Amino acid sequence: MSAAVEPCLRLSGLRRLSGEVTVNGAKNAALPCMAAALLSDEPSRIRRVPEIEDVQRLIDILRAVGARAEFADGEVVVTPGGECGGTPPDELAAALRASFLVMGPLLARSGRASCGAPGGDVIGARPIDVHIAGFRALGATVETVGGRTIAEAPRGLSGATIVLDYPSVLGTENLLLAAVLAEGRTRIVNAAMEPEITCLAEMLVRMGAKITGAGQHTITIDGVSRLSGADHELIPDRIETGTLLIAAAATRGDVCLRGVRPDHNEALLAKLAEIGVEIRREQDQLDVCVDHMAELQATNLQALPYPGFATDLQAPITALLTQVEGTSIVHERVFENRMQHLDELRKFGANIIAGGAAPVIIGPTPLSAALVRGTDIRATAALIVAALAAEGESRVYGINHLARGYADLPGQLRALGADIEQLPTVDTLNS
Ligand code: UD1
């Protein structure tokens, strides 16, 4: 049996993916909805929660600020009680970006919130100025002391018109979470429009909040004085959906994805159609089938805020574009440092000309097995896509990143016929 010094995936490529899998609930909807539960004294139940490390980390954070939180059988139950408050330990805050989402609810509920610098993937500067400007517009004083952000509004928050400098996803969510208990009307202008924001707003409305316009550029919130608990099911993960579609296309597969929302993946579906990947869509199902003789064509794309092409699928589709005929340009316009997968893709033999945030991919190039390392969640997924399309046995390191965002991508791929396994580490073998 082979082993590795640190956890890694072993993959043998050039196997056509085929079969059916069901997609998990959305990571990026689970996190804000769990934070929303802090807004009430009553318990909230969130269903279809993916088993990923970021969920576990946020549970630890919710507990650290005084809530009870349990995760079993795909459901998270959060019971905040009356005494929630305090600061999450800095190392927990630094473990994920969404840790900062406790700020909005705690500020709204208790008039005070503080949190250390949020962590997450290292894909750019990732400032929090949009959140801070919004809290100030709602009447809070905000200062940074020793790396922690402290927001205070002892007399409560007051509704305001907040114009976001950038349609930040977590920024919009944090301000929505703060505004639902503010006095009067709040308008969030230039809001992010991602489906995860609509999912959060739906949970808040179930809790008794008054919100219109979620999923559009301007969200209007009429503050209420208290919220109840809610029972809420998450939307399917559109990034997991996209990754599986891209993996299927890269292996010229025949795959059916169940439990999906095709309308949340319009930009990807349009690009795949342009490349020549045929996809049949039903209300909650996508069937992708690529003939092994089909000639796939190059395309250009820009990663943008929703409904544009998702930045979280930029790295995975780059791996696919190494397998299509012609020259593609992929322009990353959301994060300034999200190209760390390119050097790793070149180790498989990919022909990619560096172009800053807009590399040029020349295809098709036959890929051959490589030993590579993912540096963030989606970069690691991209390397898995490349390994599936490469001849021979690859090893993909950095799978701790993968576990943060995908419930079981290797297991789903195995169910579709991929030859993929996590290698035991030398330590595990010796113990
Ligand atoms: C969320 C997603 C992440 C996705 C990203 C963009 C979660 C948990 N994560 O991250 O998977 O890749 O949306 O779709 O939902 N910005 C500012 N000021 C701010 C905040 C952000 O300038 O206060 C800039 C960032 O530097 C970046 C851009 O806005 O260039 C996008 O960031 P943002 O939308 O905030 O991403 P996240 O919410 O962190």
pLDDT tens digits for 213-233?
999 999 999 999 999 999 999
The CB of 309 under 6 Å from ligand 1? The reply is no
The identity of residue 237, as a single letter, is D
| Ligand 1: centre distance to CA 4 (Å) | 34
101 versus 294: which is more confidently predicted? 101
The whole-number pLDDT of residue 267 equals: 98
pLDDT band at residue 86 under the 50/70/90 scheme: confident
Structure tokens at 26: 């959305």
Q: Is the pLDDT of residue 425 over 90?
A: no
Gap between the Cα atoms of 71 and 57, Å rounded: 11
- Give me the half-sphere count of Cα atoms (radius 13 Å) on the Cβ side of residue 66: 17
| Ligand 1: centre distance to CA 169 (Å) | 5
The identity of residue 177, as a single letter, is L
Q: Is the pLDDT of residue 431 over 70?
A: no
* Cα radius of gyration rounded to whole Å, the chain: 22
Among 257, 393, 245, which residue's Cα sits nearest to residue 319? 245
Q: What angle do CA 303, 31, 47 make, to 5 degrees?
A: 115
Mean pLDDT of 121-127: 75
Gap between the Cα atoms of 279 and 282, Å rounded: 10
The whole-number pLDDT of residue 122 equals: 75
Atom 35, ligand 1: which residue's CA is nearest? Answer: 168
Three-state secondary-structure class, residue 29: helix
Give all strands of the β-sheet with 112-115 in edge-to-edge order. 112-115, 148-152, 141-145
Three-state secondary-structure class, residue 244: helix
Mean pLDDT of 73-95: 92
- Non-local (6+) Cβ contacts of 257 within 8 A are 20, 21, 22, 23, 241, 244, 245, 285, 286, 287, 288
Neighbours of 340 (CB within 10 A): 17
Pocket test for ligand 1, best of 99, 136, 168 (most atoms within 8 A of CB): 168
H helix intervals, 37-168: 53-64, 90-93, 103-110, 129-137
The CB of 171 under 6 Å from ligand 1? The reply is yes
pLDDT band at residue 168 under the 50/70/90 scheme: very high
The CB of 168 under 6 Å from ligand 1? The reply is yes
The CB of 312 under 6 Å from ligand 1? The reply is yes
**pLDDT (tens digit per residue) in 9-62:** 999 999 999 999 999 999 999 999 999 999 999 999 999 999 999 999 999 999
Q: What angle do CA 284, 287, 289 make, to 5 degrees?
A: 170
Question: Torsions phi, psi of 331, nearest 5?
Answer: -105, 110
Structure tokens at 45: 């139940």
